[in-house]
Amino acid sequence: MKSNLLDHATFGQGWVKFLILVTQAESDWGQNANVKQISTGVVVLAALAASCGGSATTPVVSTSMTPTKTAPAQAAADLTTVAPQSTTTSLPSTTTTTTATPPPTTATPSTVVDAASALVREDSNYIFDQSQLHTFELTLSNEALEQIDRNPAAEVWVVGSLGFEGETIDRVGIRYKGSVGAWYGCLSGEDWANPSGRKTCTKLSMKVKMNWDDPDREFHGLRRLQFHSMNLDPSQLHERLGYWLFREMGVPAPRSVHARLMVNGTYVGLFALTEQIDGRFTRYNFDDGAGNLYKEIWPTGSWEGVPDERDFRLALKTNEGDNPSVEMLRTFGLEVTDAQPGGAPAVVKKWMNIEEVLAWAVVDRSIRNDDGPFHWYCFDGFCNNHNFYWYEDPTTSLLHLIPWDLDNAFQNIREDRNPVTPIPDAWGEITKDCEVFKYGQWGIPQRSAACDPLFAAWGAFDDDYHRVLGRFLDGPFAEDQVQKQITAWTAQIREATTESADSHDDALPVAYWDWAVDNLLVDLDYAREVAR
């Protein structure tokens, strides 16, 4: 296996992520989206279309607020008719400026910690309590805030403090987080391919590092807090609902809730607080959480075969400094690949909990998580998937697949709304005899997942898959169960959503949010109908 596999994967996945993020917004060219969002999408799509030799007309902005099948279909069609425009258009900032009280000087951490402090409490369930809408307050010096606002794409860490329920925790690391597409329209730089410049959007995703200068310091048993902006999910429910469904089906997946975020005394908005997948995650979800955690490396590899040991080590997210053996996951890939026809399912049963992995597949396909492991993007002769982790349980010798990054889930349920992510294959199906083919409005090359030896082995459990699907449809995905959760969550975040809309010109309009939630419910009804 060539050692440049991860380089190819990173390049291809980064480009795909850019395409997805600038177009995702649930195909929402209109539906009361703010002018900045619309113009941003037009400029980027036009630039990309022009770079591919495309041309067309400016999309029509719909003003309908009724969640019908025709509205999303029209929006999806509009994505293919975008007029070419200059890639150097600089959009004006619509951020509402609020004068904040200068934050206090960062203090040296106390050597004495109260027994009730969040630093010694290990109840991470309190942070991810579905019945709570917590508020987190970040405080930075004026110089530190200016530093990260000057160029968020640099993802520079600065030191500040975290306020939570009356307690101030000094010396935490703070930075913005994102990718090329996430920055577009939110930075003042004119080159979208090399994001730079000042922050121009009110909300950007942020990460807080609790163990800034103490590697063992934790906050309610957590070392990282991730606040996802949800700027391109008008329903504000993709992450929370998707991960909840996975977890309800027994799949190890991050916990996700909503949270209010304040920065230097100013309410920034509502965020998805999604659990970091790290050593704290593995210890919470597995009896033995000390094993290896890997990010975005597939055990059976690409067309060039199973990755080598170096690639597996580069993908490690735990135990990196301990020189651990990576033979468990690599041996699994080799055994699946080397198995004779009909022998791979037995290998899978040896290394995985079949009920768990089929539950993952059932949820993934039902919510059309088309930017997840089922989508094999192909670039320069390499086909790779992304947005997943693997965990090796050293006690049971079992491997676990963990889903990640669900912001594009739910989009393609009724029709292929996203021009980049759609997958044509149903469970176990193969298109074009495993050759690379183009699909979707933009014709992005892909390969059928079932052509991969591991996916093919999972496909052999077809009867079990449909049995698990029935359990899903009668359980957490049942209409009354989903409706109950969405009703509770939207009631919980309505005031915070309204507060954002009233405070910031570029915030999600409440009427548009209501439409997006209703549209999501229609999509879920359709998904159940098709599955049955």
Amino acid at 355: E
pLDDT at residue 15, rounded to an integer = 45
350 pLDDT more than 60: yes
Mean pLDDT of 409-426: 95
Look at residues 124, 119, 121 and name the one whose alpha carbon lies nearest to residue 109: 119
pLDDT confidence tier of residue 116, bands split at 50, 70 and 90: low
The length of the chain, given as a count of residues: 532
Q: Quick one: residue 24, left, alpha or beta (phi over 0 = left, psi -120 to 50 = alpha)?
A: alpha
Mean pLDDT of 398-426: 95
* First-to-final CA distance of the chain: 42
In angstroms, the CA 446 to CA 226 distance is 31
In angstroms, the CA 148 to CA 145 distance is 5
3 pLDDT more than 60: no
pLDDT confidence tier of residue 95, bands split at 50, 70 and 90: very low
Mean pLDDT of 232-240: 96
pLDDT at residue 2, rounded to an integer = 40
- Angle 354-366/344-351 helices, nearest 10 degrees? 100
| Average pLDDT score, the chain | 82
34 pLDDT more than 70: no
**Between 188 and 35, residue with greater pLDDT:** 188
294 pLDDT more than 90: yes
Give the global pTM.
Answer: 0.81
66 pLDDT more than 80: no
pLDDT confidence tier of residue 295, bands split at 50, 70 and 90: very high
**Between 111 and 209, residue with greater pLDDT:** 209
113 pLDDT more than 60: no
pLDDT at residue 181, rounded to an integer = 66
pLDDT at residue 242, rounded to an integer = 98
73 pLDDT more than 50: no
CB 446 within 8 A of CB 437: yes
Q: Quick one: residue 292, left, alpha or beta (phi over 0 = left, psi -120 to 50 = alpha)?
A: beta
pLDDT confidence tier of residue 278, bands split at 50, 70 and 90: very high
SS3 21: helix
pLDDT at residue 107, rounded to an integer = 36
**Between 351 and 45, residue with greater pLDDT:** 351
CB 316 within 8 A of CB 324: yes
Q: Note the pLDDT tens digit of each residue in 132-143.
A: 999 999 999 999
373 pLDDT more than 50: yes
Strands ordered across the beta sheet of 376-379: 382-384, 376-379, 444-447, 437-439
CB 531 within 8 A of CB 469: yes
**Between 246 and 8, residue with greater pLDDT:** 246
* Stretch among 110-119, 281-290, 311-320, 366-375 having the lowest mean pLDDT: 110-119
307 pLDDT more than 90: yes
158 pLDDT more than 90: yes
Mean pLDDT of 164-193: 88
CB 269 within 8 A of CB 202: yes
Mean pLDDT of 84-90: 30
pLDDT confidence tier of residue 114, bands split at 50, 70 and 90: low
* Stretch among 138-142, 305-309, 448-452 having the lowest mean pLDDT: 305-309
In angstroms, the CA 204 to CA 379 distance is 29
111 pLDDT more than 70: no
320 pLDDT more than 80: yes
**Between 17 and 59, residue with greater pLDDT:** 17
pLDDT confidence tier of residue 335, bands split at 50, 70 and 90: very high
In angstroms, the CA 90 to CA 119 distance is 44
Dihedral sign (CA 330, 331, 335, 336): negative
* Stretch among 114-118, 178-182, 235-239, 459-463 having the lowest mean pLDDT: 114-118
Q: How many CB atoms lie within 10 A of CB 488?
A: 12
SS3 151: coil
CB 387 within 8 A of CB 372: yes
Look at residues 392, 408, 411 and name the one whose alpha carbon lies nearest to residue 400: 392
Q: Note the pLDDT tens digit of each residue in 463-505.
A: 999 999 999 999 999 999 999 999 999 999 999 999 999 999 9
pLDDT at residue 185, rounded to an integer = 85
Strands 167-176 and 158-164: antiparallel
Provide, rounded to the nearest whole percent, the portion of the chain with pLDDT above 70.
Answer: 78
